[in-house]
Amino acid sequence: MIEEILPGIFHWTQAHPKIGMAVSSYYLLPERVLIDPLIPDEGLEWFADHPPENILLSIRHHYRHCAEFEEKYSCKVWCVEQGLHEFTNGELVEAFNFGDVLPGSIRAVEIGSICPDEGALFINREGGCVVLADGCVRKKIDGPLQFVPDSLLGEDPIAVRVGLIAAYTHLLEEYYFEHVLLSHGGPIIADGRAQLEAFLRNSAPESVK
């Protein structure tokens, strides 16, 4: 079910067709920007009166139902350049670089560590929002912040987590935001910054197991 979580910012969850778990998608209505979309229960028709113009991927793996949205509404799909190797079946994907200002005045921020295209998206309104891709998740829709499981962090999970801590710390230093919008797990509204800060304090390198 689509829910307006902040003025003009909509969120919904849907079961991912490959992993079978509920994941999050977002629509910024004034900006006409979708982020990591799956088709909601309301269907593509929900967007007919306010059609999307652009789709931003926080990481290459989140292409999800972009093709269906592109076919219905002729919107552009954007992925960071480091992730373009994923698209070898004729997908129409535009490239951006970390640091670019994307459609909707959204800033692309490098996170890395897990993979070169792991990113965040900074939305400078409603007190500031960041969309996090895969590194930081909530296993339950309203659960605590956690790192993605070790099985998805390669051969040296500790090193990857240390890299994520450094990247998220830099994100907090460079950008002010109150809300954290996760691709895996529900959004954290109002105290997202505080929860991310607390999570990083509790995940200091010496305490990472």
Q: What is the CATH number of the domain that holds 16?
A: 3.60.15.10
The dihedrals phi and psi of 22, each to the nearest 5 degrees, come to: -70, 130
Say if residue 157's pLDDT is above 50.
yes
Structural domain including 39 reads 3-207
Q: pLDDT for 58-93, tens place per residue?
A: 999 999 999 999 999 999 999 999 999 999 988 999
User: Do residues 174 and 180 lie in contact, with contact meaning Cβ atoms separated by under 8 Å?
Assistant: no
Instruction: Look at residue 167 in the predicted model and tell me its pLDDT.
Output: 96
Domain count, the chain: 1
Say if residue 209's pLDDT is above 60.
no
Q: What is the mean pLDDT of the chain?
A: 93
Instruction: Look at residue 21 in the predicted model and tell me its pLDDT.
Output: 79
Instruction: Look at residue 208 in the predicted model and tell me its pLDDT.
Output: 44
In the structure, what pLDDT confidence band is assigned to residue 197 with cuts at 50, 70 and 90? very high
Q: How far is CA 51 from the centre of its chain?
A: 20
What DSSP state is assigned to residue 103?
Answer: T
Instruction: Look at residue 205 in the predicted model and tell me its pLDDT.
Output: 65
User: Do residues 34 and 11 lie in contact, with contact meaning Cβ atoms separated by under 8 Å?
Assistant: no
Rounded CA-CA distance 46/1 in Å is: 11
> What pTM was computed for the model?
0.94
